[in-house]
Amino acid sequence: METPDIIEIEKLKSTLEKAKLIAYNGEAPDIELMFNPTDISFTRTVNWECQVGNRGTTLLPKVNFSGVDPYRFTLQQLVYDTYETKKSVMEYIDKIKKGVEAIENTDDSRPPVYIFTWGSEYFYCVITSLTYTLNMFLSDGTPVRALVDIDLQEVDKVNLPGGSSSASGGTNNLLDPRI
């Protein structure tokens, strides 16, 4: 059996693109995934409102379309492993934790917006849930492996959180006491 040429292996390594959560406008540290996910689960809900008492000929309630929720997607079982370097894996986890904390040094009290990329841009998003499990430790108690689950929600890149005006250009007359 022939061994692969080292140059060919190096070419393959250089083309492997890592998935990343790039902080929009530098709001927080970027999050680079140590290993790419094996799958990404996407969910979107379409909302329908039932009109109680308003029934069709089949006795089922009449429904009206009321909009769609943003896409939600989950990155599950992300592995972070620093065993070989003997450094704490918390260096990586602490960057991810910034995604569920308020941005420092701003008047806008909200977690950061990210751009999820993997070769190309996928979504502008926010982290809605973070779960991590530390599951390997050095003899001195230093955590060196973690499994991470991140739930993300799509945000409108034209009308990002923290903006002072709406991209629609409309006004909200319901909240204006002068009208």
**Does a structural domain hold residue 48?**
no
**Does a structural domain hold residue 152?**
yes
CA 24 from centroid of its chain's CA atoms: 12
First-to-last CA distance in the chain? 81
Residue 90's SS3 state is: helix
pLDDT band of residue 94 (cuts 50, 70, 90) is very high
**Does a structural domain hold residue 76?**
yes
**Does a structural domain hold residue 26?**
yes
pLDDT at 175: 38
On whether the pTM is more than 0.85, the answer is: no
Measured between alpha carbons, how far is 40 from 30 in angstroms, rounded to an integer?
19
CA 50 from centroid of its chain's CA atoms: 32
Task: Name the residue range of residue 33's domain.
Answer: 14-43+72-158
**Does a structural domain hold residue 51?**
no
Question: Mean of the per-residue pLDDT values for the chain?
Answer: 83
The answer on pLDDT for 142 being more than 60 is yes
Residue 159 CA: distances (Å) to CA of 57, 143, 152, 154, 174: 42, 39, 17, 12, 20
pLDDT at 36: 87
Measured between alpha carbons, how far is 26 from 93 in angstroms, rounded to an integer?
18
Bigger pLDDT: 46 or 11? 46
CATH of the domain at 30: 2.40.30
8 A C-beta contact, residue 133 and residue 162: no
**Does a structural domain hold residue 113?**
yes
pLDDT band of residue 54 (cuts 50, 70, 90) is confident
Hey, which of 38-47, 89-98, 111-120, 162-171 has the most confident mean pLDDT?
Answer: 89-98
Residue-level length of the chain: 179
**Does a structural domain hold residue 98?**
yes
Provide the domain count of the chain.
1
**Does a structural domain hold residue 4?**
no
